[in-house]
Chains A and B, each alone.
Chain A
Amino acid sequence: MDKLTVDKLNLSYGAFHILKDVDLTVRKGEIIVLLGPSGSGKTTLLRAIAGLEKPQQGRIAIDGRTVFDGDKNLLLPSEKRDLGLVFQSYALWPHRTARENVGYGLKLRGTPKAEADQRVSRAMTNLGLGHLLDRYPHELSGGQQQRVAIARALVYNPPVLLLDEPLSNLDARLRDEAKAWLRQLIVESGLSAIMVTHDQTEALAIADKVVLLRNGIVVQEGAPEEVYHNPDNLFTAQFFGSTTTLTGTLAGLSEIDVGGQRLSGTVVGNIPNGENVAAVIRTEKLALGSGPGPNRLTSKLIQSMFLGAQWEHFLDANGQTVRIFTEDRLSHGIHHLVFDPATLRIFPAEGSMNG
């Protein structure tokens, strides 16, 4: 059964149209990650689901119960939606201990004290916080505060757990651990969750389904491998991973003409011959060829950087910059790059949007 459905949701602040006809479905046990650059509306969408922002049109249903309907003028306040939300800042109440923070939701729901205490201890112990029950938030580390915030949102078994950039306040090492831990926790508890992030690697790692937003519109959604390997638009292709974009015109059935060099790739959609196109290839899919040949990109080395595990090189191909990684140092001069035509994806050109 669908735990959450969002239909044609529209939200504006005055003249600013933040969300435009957004649809979203969360099935039971599914982790959805809302991903997008800043200003794409991902946090606004999460807050609208939580009842902290007021949309104008559309419909939101949680666990089969309509909580917002623009046509019927129905808007349930946050406290009637029974959701759990983890804030980016954690928003723990500083005047209450960890135990009181976590237990507040149960207290409001009238859970008998003995049972509430037991559930709070169990939730905290599950998250490795069993010994910190009586500490105040300022006596906890960032990672511990994050766990308390998660425990507070989980303890009353909400149908959907909402997470607003939960990992962004942790330092890099802790974030990597928390990523694996968070996914495991959600999957093992059989929860349904929506998480907002601007970090693509975090999104790909945690999500069952990634929803990529741009300017309040869902650009593409699908399984992480799907959006990574089969982007159906230029924005998605450039958003994930490290890529090189070549601009030119479409020649033949599936070739791009880059300043006289013709490269064959995979055309996405219907593009008329001679049209301006942009071809995107992942940096890791480009390799050095032994010499010139058909479907090899001839380019000149401009700059090399040693990154430790590998070298990163910038090459010039008819005035366009190409990036490749190699294990060894690269000699100056002309190089011929090879790639599999299936990995060069050709899209209709538009202004570069990968900010």
Chain B
Amino acid sequence: MGLAFLWVFIFFPPATPLRATLISIWIAYTVVWLAYGTRLVSSSLMQVGKELEEAARITGASPSRSTRDVTLPLSRHGLLASWLLVFLMFEREYATGVYLLTAGNELIGPLLVSLSETGAMDQVAALSFINLVIMGVGITLALKFGVKLNG
């Protein structure tokens, strides 16, 4: 998949200017992991009973209003948990964007790999620690908004 994206950004003229930017990496990650994310999100949306939305419609809410007032509040925890899972996945994943990296546009995962190849272990350790802190902040944010880690 990563290679396919490299080809797209090399040979598809409208996309070539983006190749050396973070946007190309962002697009690659979004497309590759969309199916995974959709799966997580749809299962949390399905947890909201169909009748709860129907009840809102009957009571007089338009489809968008019933999504806003019933579906989203009730699936909020699931949506946040999905975000947390995808976030943790991206933090340690490196295969998707590996071909799109250019100097100055590295991702932490691939950068750790290439740094350890060169033997710069102290830099690897420092970057890993930063990575851990970022993960910690992400998890703390998710917990603060109501994600429960067990059940």
A residues near B (Cβ < 8 Å) are 50-52, 77-79, 81-85, 87, 89, 91-95, 104-105, 108-109, 152-153, 156
Contact present for A91 and B60 (CB under 8 Å): no
Q: How far is A40 from B45 in the complex, measured between Cα atoms in Å?
A: 31
**A89 touching B49 in the complex, CB below 8 Å, given contacts A108-B60, A108-B65:** yes
- Secondary structure of the A side of the interface? loop
Residues in A with CB closer than 8 Å to B57 are 51-52, 77-79
Contact present for A93 and B60 (CB under 8 Å): no
Residues in A with CB closer than 8 Å to B56 are 93, 104
A109: nearest chain-B partner, CB-CB? B60
Query: B46 CB to closest chain A CB, in angstroms?
Result: 16
Contact present for A108 and B59 (CB under 8 Å): yes
Q: How far is A85 from B56 in the complex, measured between Cα atoms in Å?
A: 10
Residues in B with CB closer than 8 Å to A105 are 59-60
B51: nearest chain-A partner, CB-CB? A91
In the complex, which of the residues B55, B61, B69, B73 contacts A91, with contact meaning CB atoms closer than 8 Å? Answer: B55
Q: How far is A94 from B77 in the complex, measured between Cα atoms in Å?
A: 14
**A79 touching B55 in the complex, CB below 8 Å, given contacts A95-B73, A95-B74:** no
Is B149's beta carbon under 8 Å from chain A?
no
6 nearest A-B pairs in the assembled complex, by CB-CB distance: A91-B51, A108-B60, A78-B57, A91-B55, A105-B59, A85-B58
A158: nearest chain-B partner, CB-CB? B58
Query: B55 CB to closest chain A CB, in angstroms?
Result: 4
Is B123's beta carbon under 8 Å from chain A?
no
**A94 touching B74 in the complex, CB below 8 Å, given contacts A52-B54, A108-B65:** yes
Contact present for A152 and B59 (CB under 8 Å): yes
List B residues 15-69 near A (Cβ within 8 Å): 49, 51-52, 54-63, 65, 69
Query: A116 CB to closest chain B CB, in angstroms?
Result: 13
Residues in B with CB closer than 8 Å to A152 are 55, 59
Contact present for A78 and B70 (CB under 8 Å): no
**A84 touching B58 in the complex, CB below 8 Å, given contacts A91-B49, A91-B52:** yes
Q: How far is A218 from B35 in the complex, measured between Cα atoms in Å?
A: 47
17 sampled A-B residue pairs with Cβ under 8 A = A51-B58, A52-B54, A52-B57, A77-B57, A85-B58, A87-B51, A87-B54, A91-B52, A94-B52, A94-B74, A95-B73, A104-B56, A108-B59, A108-B61, A153-B58, A153-B59, A156-B60
Interface string of B84-96 (1 = CB under 8 A from A): 0000000000000
Since A79-B60, A93-B74 are in contact, a sample of 4 more A-B pairs with Cβ atoms closer than 8 Å, ordered by chain A residue number, is A79-B62, A95-B74, A105-B60, A108-B60
Query: A324 CB to closest chain B CB, in angstroms?
Result: 44
Residues in B with CB closer than 8 Å to A91 are 49, 51-52, 54-55
Query: A93 CB to closest chain B CB, in angstroms?
Result: 6
Residues in B with CB closer than 8 Å to A78 are 54, 57-58
Residues in A with CB closer than 8 Å to B63 are 77
Contact present for A79 and B74 (CB under 8 Å): no
Query: A303 CB to closest chain B CB, in angstroms?
Result: 44
Residues in B with CB closer than 8 Å to A93 are 52, 55-56, 70, 74
Residues in B with CB closer than 8 Å to A52 are 54, 57-58
B76: nearest chain-A partner, CB-CB? A95
Q: How far is A51 from B61 in the complex, measured between Cα atoms in Å?
A: 13
Q: How far is A212 from B75 in the complex, measured between Cα atoms in Å?
A: 40
B52: nearest chain-A partner, CB-CB? A91
Q: How far is A108 from B65 in the complex, measured between Cα atoms in Å?
A: 9
Residues in A with CB closer than 8 Å to B62 are 77, 79
Q: How far is A341 from B44 in the complex, measured between Cα atoms in Å?
A: 63
Contact present for B58 and A79 (CB under 8 Å): yes
